[in-house]
Chain A
């Protein structure tokens, strides 16, 4: 976290200017005004606008002919949307689980006074600095059914090795998982490593004096105290999963067919390429609902926690 105690008083000088109370009164508000306006209009206003559109039969241009929940009914009868939703379930579930597992494991391993820890950490985390488009491009080549990993394994002597998930409609969603885990797991590692470094050393010493071994200490003392980190990671990862758009665009382009579409791609395709503004808006609202369902309990518990401190 970024909060640090500030250097006290550096740069503070006596100013002889007279107090201008009225100025001090309106200046903060004036400074915040642009952000307040854009937040009200471009976040909440647009949200409502999209909600309104989702109840109309807008196609290429917004029309305000209300059709009730017809777009939502159409949405949940649309096979492509159902595929996208179930892909999100599979992709999101696996992505989150594997990232958490790898992140915790690597963080614990790295926390054992490892030589060159800095260098190893840098390597684990660098994918987080690059765009999902680059990640998708790289993995598209690695997972290439004829020239990629399959060919390499055959050359290594595994003659029957088959690895064509990228062109297999049933398996392609796992390609998304592989690439996304590669990109984000190092980040989870960094979160947990920061958490581990913050664990109270006294508590651990006490446990060891009681004769607890290293595994017991981790399982019983250290990991339970990292619950908040665990929840943050969970929220961030599910957020990344729900918003995933670029990775699909570059790695599979939704294909084969639409077998690897995610909701974000469904929304974009229908709203921008297929002139189905109403349907696209409805899908965006469902995505918003998913995010809020995760976020509100989290923020609620965070705020309540702060008040108790």
Chain B
């Protein structure tokens, strides 16, 4: 269907085609501009920011702001930069992504090939859980984390992210495993293969694409989370998004926009990198999570 435009070659069409490219490139600039501005601003000194404009180039490359954002900027109480919180985010994200992916894979396997009474109903109930506004669970979860003795800890945050991430990971794996022929699993069962043998030998070897999609989706979601971070983290377990927000809204001393921008880029870097390196899988996760979730 993409060759509709190609067939006609009148001048009007040529003009339209030029207009098309101009529009597309102009829009590309609009989407890129905020990032370009962030990058330029992060490389200027405060004086240059005051005298120049958003898109004016820095006179020289000045990495002062990057250094300060990383290890010296004040984020609320302390002035250690966002480095410690950047590491906190990894400490939250890695276990949360791994656990929710494994649990999701097993759940998806059960729901599509080991159905039991009520498993479909349960799947529907879980699906609805993807959509609830989390405001509705914040207060009880805060209480529960307190009772479990993990309030304000990294393990508490991991727990929260796993609980609310599993709905999505289950959905992803269920949709993928639904396409695995039921006869395949049945035949293996007749041959005496058990639940985990079939999973390891038949299901897991074909799961690579959906595992990649799920890991990327979960990584992006949890890294970018702010609500759970701000509600359930302690002073020294804050994820980087919360620290960034504190840094930007900290108001003592002069406002250093270059430091704000450097910190923002640092906080965005891991997910941007994943997007650039594995964009295809990222998009697949987005549309899968979207269309059915």
Which A residues fall within an 8 A CB radius of B? 1-20, 23-24, 27-29, 31-32, 34-36, 38-39, 42-47, 49-50, 53, 62, 106, 109-114, 120, 122-142, 144, 147-149, 151-152, 155, 182, 186-187, 190-191, 194, 196-197, 199, 201, 204, 208, 214, 217, 222, 229, 232-233, 236, 239, 242-243, 245-246, 249-250, 253, 263-264, 267-268, 271-272, 277, 280-281, 283-285, 287-288, 290-291, 295, 299
Contacts and interface: CB of A to CB of B under 8 A. Distances in A.
Contacts of B260: 137, 141
5 contacts: A2-B210, A15-B201, A28-B114, A32-B107, A229-B291
A4 B176 contact: yes
Query: Most A CB atoms within 10 A — which of B3, B8, B128, B132?
Result: B132
Given A28-B119, A31-B107, A32-B122, 10 more contacts: A1-B291, A27-B114, A34-B103, A113-B3, A120-B24, A131-B241, A267-B135, A271-B138, A287-B133, A299-B127
B192 A15 contact: yes
Interface size on B, as a range, is 35 or more
A194 B137 contact: no
A111 B129 contact: no
Q: State the majority secondary structure of interface residues on A.
A: helix
Contacts of A287: 133, 135-136
Query: Most B CB atoms within 10 A — which of A133, A147, A281?
Result: A133
A23 B232 CA distance: 39
Contacts of A281: 139
B86 interface: no
A18 B197 CA distance: 12
A283 B197 CA distance: 49
Contacts of A19: 189-190, 192
Contacts of A38: 163, 166
B106 interface: yes
B137 A43 contact: yes
A23 B195 CA distance: 8
Interface in B181-211: 181, 184, 187-197, 201-202, 204-206, 209-210
Contacts, number: 341
A110 B288 CA distance: 21
Contacts of B166: 35, 38
B264 A134 contact: yes
Nearest to A245: B227
Nearest to A272: B231
B54 A284 contact: no
Contact of B284 (A2, A10, A222, A242): A2
Contacts of A263: 135
The 3 closest A-B pairs by CB, nearest first: A131-B224, A28-B114, A129-B275
